[in-house]
Structure formats: structure tokens, C-alpha cells
Amino acid sequence: MDPVKAVSHDPRAIAWDGVEFNVPWNWELGLYKFLRKGVSRIEIEDEYSVRLETEWIRPSKRGFNRDVVLKRYQEAAEQFSRKASETAAITGLPPGWTANRFVLKEMVPSKKKRGLELAESEHICALYLCPRGTLLMFVLLHFLPDDREKPLKVMTMIAESFRHHTDERLIPWKLYDIAFELPRDFLLESTLFDVGSKLMIFRWKTRRLYLWHFSCADMFLKSGVVQEDWVTGYLNGCALIRGPVFIPGKNGGVLWKRYWKHPFGHRDEIGRLCFKYKIHCRRDMVKNQLIVWVFHHRKPEDLEMIPADLLA
């Protein structure tokens, strides 16, 4: 018996841009895009292929332009409908959800003997229209012949766990081994996901928040390395932050001073009229992570935007 199939794993949550839902334990974020006309898109994959594609749009001040997402949903549904040997509507989902299941049969090379064999793949197209009109979301699920997940079970899990964080001041971000909350005013600007290091850069007006999660903290904090010394060395070598020089402070803090080449500020600081930095680092012993953030801000009151969990 496959040991992976023999072990029961709990679903995991994916939270991105104010949208949150559960997926199978081994599915993870593979790609994200912020498309034109206010559409957000993510793709979620397992060890082998893309398993879930989803796009969503929120109403703008000028109204709720649903055409982009609706067109993509219709195109995907028509594509599978033309090829499917079986088509059926999925019932029993929570209010606002509409979904259809498509079964595709085709001849493929046999893995056990010479020649061809019949293989079935399943796909689910789903559309969610929030009853309050705050969101329109398109979901496309893919299940190949050897996949162990049950399509209807996965679709039901996604729909029942779905949350649109439209009223909360803080919205969650959950991916990989990361979980934190930020005010909705912070917009994701860019990311750099690497092995052992995950950087997310957020923008609030002209301010910028750099947030790192370093995995396996014991690997680079071993042999008596002081956490603050390691952090200052890393930040001073980071080409993304050009204005200051970082130095270890008292009581485990990290401080900064003006770089001698830019006594009146770097051009990035001058362009955004932000000349102050707040640096924080902490060790998460449970997850074996080092969490570091740098908030490039304008005035002391800006620090009130940082949630208490990040200040801990």
C-alpha cells in the first residue's frame, strides 16, 4: 500500500487577497497574478501538476463588471462540455455556488502492459456569486486518473470552507508555512519565494513593508550566531533596501542609520517622502522560523498600522 495514501491528513487553508478556503494537505500555491480590470488569479498545484485555477473580482466604485470572470467560466465550461462523455450538475453546495462536473475518457498508453487503456479524468467548473454582491469567483478543478482525491469531496470542502474577508479590518495570508494578518490597506506589491526564504512586499500609500519568513532557523542561527547579528548582516546585503545601514541594537533589537552615500536620503526615499524605518525580528520556536520585517514609513503614527501579532 502506498504510505502516502495510508496516512490521513487534515486539509490546509489557503488565504490570499482577502479570499480563504481549504484544499487537500499537499496542494500549494504555485502562481499568482493581479490581472487587469481588478481580477485576482491564483493557481494551486500538488507535486505533479496544477490542480486548481481560480479568479475573482470585486465591485469597483463604478459598479460590478463581471464580464471578464464570466467569460472565462463560460469558455472553460464549453471546452470541457464538448469533450466530456459525462456531464452533471453538482448539487447541495452552499448558497451562491454553481458547479458542474465533467468526465473525460480517452485512450492512453498502458502502464502495466503494452498497448492502450481507457483512462478517465474529471474536471469541475464552479462559479461563486456572493449573495451580498461583494465578490464573483471562478474555480476550475482538475483530477487525473491516478489522483487520490475525490472530486465531489474536494469541491464541497472548498465551498463549505470558503470565506470572503470583506468586513474585517485585518485580512489573513496563509500559504506554504506562512500565516499572518495585515490591514486590508496593505496591497501586495511583489514576492520572492525561495527555498528557506519567503519575502512578501506590501505597499500602503507610499509606505512599504518588507516581510520575510526564514524556514529552519536553527540552520543559520547555530554555533552561537546571535540572531540580531545575522539579521543585520542579511539586511545590509539586501539590494532591495538602499537607503540605510542596519546595526544591532540593545535588548535584541535592530537599528538603522543613514548611509554615508545618501546623507539626505536615497532617491527611493525622496521619491516617496519616506525617511524612517522600523525593524523587527523574532524566532518562532514552534515552526522553527525566523520572522523579519522592515517597515519603511513616514511618521511615527504609521506604526499603528502594524498588527500586534507582528510586533510580538
- What is the model's pLDDT at position 209? 98
Q: Residue 218 corresponds to which amino acid? A: D
Q: Which residues contact 226 (CB under 8 A, 6 or more apart)?
A: 248
CATH number for the domain formed by residue range(s) 3-164: 3.40.1000
| Residue owning grid cell 462536473 | 101
Whether 43 and 31 have beta carbons less than 8 Å apart is answered as yes
pLDDT of residue 48: 87
Q: Give φ, ψ of 308 to 5 degrees.
A: -60, -35
Predicted pLDDT at 73: 81
Q: Which of 233, 241, 243, 184 is nearest to 211 (CA)?
A: 241
What local confidence, expressed as pLDDT, does residue 144 receive? 87
CA distances from 263 to 142, 154, 244, 270, 296 (A): 56, 57, 10, 12, 17
DSSP one-letter code for 291: E
Name residues of the chain where pLDDT drops below 70: 1-8, 61-65, 106-118, 252
pTM of the complete model: 0.88
CB 29 within 8 A of CB 54: no
Which helix H or strand E contains 246, and what residues bound it? strand 244-248
Q: In what order do the strands lie in the sheet with 276-284?
A: 187-194, 197-204, 207-215, 289-297, 276-284
The pLDDT, as a whole number, for residue 118 is 58
Q: Which is nearest to 242 in space by CA: 220, 205, 272, 203?
A: 272
Q: Which pLDDT belongs to residue 250? A: 75
What pLDDT does residue 1 have? 38
Single-letter amino acid code for the residue at 161: S
- What lies within 8 Å, CB to CB, of 245 at 6+ separation is 236, 256, 257, 258, 259
DSSP calls for 91-145: -SPPTTEEEEEEEEEEEEE-SSSSSEEEEEEEEEEEEEE-TTSS-EEEEEEEE-T
Tell me the three state secondary structure of residue 76: helix
Adjacency order of strands within the sheet including 86-90 = 28-34, 39-45, 50-57, 136-143, 116-129, 97-109, 86-90
